[in-house]
A and B are shown apart, each in its own frame.
Chain A
Amino acid sequence: MKVGFLLGGGLICAGLLLQVILGPVNWYWLAWPVNLAVLFLLLAAVGAVYALRGKVYAFEWMMHAGAAVPCLVYAASLTMLMGLLPQVREGGMPWLSQMLSFWPFVLIWTWMMFVSALAALNHLLRWKWKEIPFILNHLGVVIAIVAATLGNADVQSLELTAFTGEPEWRAVDEMGRVHEPGLAIELHKFTMEEYPNHMPKRFASDISVYTEDGKTLRGTVEVNKPLKVNGWKIYQYSYDVKKGPESAYSVLQLVKDPWIAWVYLGIYMMLAGALCLMLFMAPKPVKV
């Protein structure tokens, strides 16, 4: 386990070095198809380490619970540090205020995923029914986090402001750049209910969506009830806050995430794994 802590320390140093040389992690580099290449590289590395487990003692060691402890300790510590320091897009403390782009943080989390994937593979290839809980937990977390991380650069998130009776096909991204998502949205009616103190209670947009391939879909979008069209999810985002119920427009958010199915798969595996954790993995009660 001491070796594991040394390895983690080494990764932190390597990360600091990368941070100095390359600057913060630029997640946009990972946009398709680079993320696919990185995925194959990671899978190949996991496979190689597994194949060489008999020859290299360190690789054999990496598959045991003891190897998970140091990477979890490092990951938990850096995550706590991230929780302590305000995270801002720019400025703040050097490096630590943009923890998600901090190389040591990224390397430690990658190491953790690597160890978990290796353990999952090890149990997968020594298949027995009773290994299912272990595989669900270790593979589930890897699928969810790797898909979320690699897919992040491919997520499109746009804001579209729809005025009553005027189909709108342009939307802007976070940077204010204009995009054409391939569908037009027409607002028929924006409805809003307020509490007696004028706090918003419910707001919704009755809209029609016209897609490039000629489909027309009418529906209501409200908070917590998005609409799904051609791979896009349309969310009720905002409205004319000054006018409230009289708002003449509705701001909708359009999100497309090509990797979402994998993230969901990982999440469902983790949910099943958590159920197994308490039903099958917990140690048997000791009888007095």
Chain B
Amino acid sequence: MSWDSFVWFALGAVLLWAAGAFFAWKGRKTLVYVCTLAGIAVFFAFILGMWISLERPPLRTMGETRLWYSFFLPVAGILVYSRWRYKWILSFSTVLSFVFICVNLFKPEIHSKNLMPALQSPWFAPHVIVYMFSYALLGAATLMAIWMLVRKDKTTEKEINLTDNLVYVGQAFLTFGMLFGALWAKEAWGTYWAWDPKETWAAATWLCYLVYLHFRKAKPAEWQVSCIILLVSFVCLQICWWGINYLPSAQQGLSVHTY
């Protein structure tokens, strides 16, 4: 198995996931599971093939990481669907997965990019993947917050509830990402937390979303304030993700997270 055959597996998987997402809107539960799981199986067959032919798990290069990202998105999507029955979640995960598949298809030169030894760890993929998934969910929560602030009194209980759920799951994944990073850092550098600028912003972001969760518990009626907390938190998240590269604190090669 090589990257040459990727396009066919990817095409098959995306079509199946799209069918699953379509049936979710139509409320056809059995077909949702059949199509989505079939797509996941097709995609995993490719990963397995790569694994066998590379004689190592395909986790080493950026392209290979994106492969897992594209794979886990529908997995997470179907898990969330099975519990919350959100009609849109599978469309969301399919589109996001498709974007990353396209990056792999159209930017194949990145596949062989050198990876410094510290990044060659089994923690690399899960650390990045769960963070990306969390960012996606919290991004959706931010859109909801803006929507609710614009509509003001027309906001429904269901919209608030949906936003809460997005943040709960997003915060859970944010925690996974942060702690996977800590466990990995202990294996790579001997210390689990070094207050590297990226880590500092990750901590700040994590605290911001905790403000939201606790504020919602304490003052459930003041949902407009919670929406504003979400907007501030998302700014923090963006600084953590990419804004940090433009901050003086991360210059001078002080961060191991500059890329």
Contact = CB atoms under 8 A, between A and B. Distances in A.
A195 B158 contact: no
Interface in B145-166: 157-158, 161-162, 164-165
Contacts of B83: 279
A282 B161 CA distance: 9
B75 to A, nearest CB: 14
Contact of B207 (A79, A195, A282, A286): A79
- Centre residue among A66, A157, A283 by max chain B CB count within 10 A: A283
A1 B85 CA distance: 36
Interface string A122-151: 000000000000000000000000001000
Contact of B218 (A65, A202, A288): A65
Contacts of B203: 79
A177 interface: no
A71 to B, nearest CB: 9
B28 interface: no
Given A83-B201, A86-B251, A235-B189, A267 B183 contact: yes
Q: For the complex, would chain B's binding face be called helix, strand, loop or mixed by DSSP majority?
A: helix
B218 A64 contact: yes
A79 B204 contact: yes
Contacts of B175: 270-271, 273-274, 277
Interface stretch (B11-19, B64-72, B96-104, B192-200): B192-200
Nearest to A157: B190
Contacts, number: 149
A13 interface: no
B239 interface: yes
B121 interface: yes
B249 A87 contact: yes
A69 B172 contact: no
Contacts of B258: none
A263 B182 CA distance: 10
A66 B219 contact: yes
A233 B117 contact: no
Contacts of B161: 283, 285-286
Interface stretch (B1-9, B34-42, B47-55, B208-216): B208-216
A281 B169 CA distance: 10
B195 A68 contact: no
Contact size range, A: 35 or more
Interface string A217-245: 00000111110000001010000000000
B204 A80 contact: yes
Nearest to A66: B218
Q: Which of B86, B175, B236, B254 has the most CB of A within 10 A?
A: B175
A76 B208 contact: yes
Nearest to B190: A255
A1 B158 CA distance: 27
A259 B166 CA distance: 35
11 contacts: A66-B214, A68-B214, A69-B214, A72-B214, A79-B203, A224-B188, A255-B191, A277-B175, A278-B173, A282-B169, A288-B158
Interface of B: 83-86, 114-118, 120-121, 157-158, 161-162, 164-165, 168-169, 171-173, 175-176, 179, 182-184, 186-193, 195, 197, 200-201, 203-204, 207-208, 210-211, 214-215, 217-219, 236, 239, 244, 247-249, 251-252, 254
Interface of A: 1, 64-66, 68-69, 72-73, 75-76, 79-80, 82-87, 100, 148, 155, 157, 195, 197, 199-203, 222-226, 233, 235, 253, 255, 260, 263, 267, 270-271, 273-275, 277-279, 281-283, 285-286, 288
Given A83-B197, A201-B114, A288-B158, 15 more contacts: A66-B219, A76-B207, A79-B203, A85-B249, A224-B188, A253-B190, A255-B190, A273-B175, A277-B171, A278-B168, A278-B172, A278-B173, A281-B168, A283-B168, A285-B84
